[in-house]
Amino acid sequence: MAAMPESIVKKDAPEFRIIVKRPNRRGPIAPYRMALTVLFVFFVAGRQLWAAAMTGYGSDGALIDAGVAGLFIWVLSGIVNGILAQGRPA
């Protein structure tokens, strides 16, 4: 084996490294959270948002309703996703 220069060789370096793999915390609905949120906002505030876009009246209330609905379902789906991620795989 070829000799390595002294600057490259570390004498106090371990011969191997122990890598601890952390469990995956992503649940089964993690990739679909955004789609769930958009669909929920569409069903809850879609008509208000459409009316506000067409008439220009009441856009503040429609956006607030959509934001609250989106935040609600985003947090709720995150909680459910976390609970499902803690379960053992089948």
- Asked whether the predicted pLDDT for residue 6 surpasses 90, the reply is no
The pTM is what? Answer: 0.67
- Tell me what pLDDT residue 22 has: 73
Q: What is the CA radius of gyration of the chain?
A: 26
Query: What's the CA gap between 79 and 76, in Å, rounded?
Result: 5
Q: What is the pLDDT of residues 43-54, one digit of tens each?
A: 999 999 999 999
- Tell me what pLDDT residue 52 has: 93
Average pLDDT over residues 7-12: 58
Query: 45: exposed, middle or buried (C-beta count within 10 Å: 0-12, 13-18, 19+)?
Result: buried
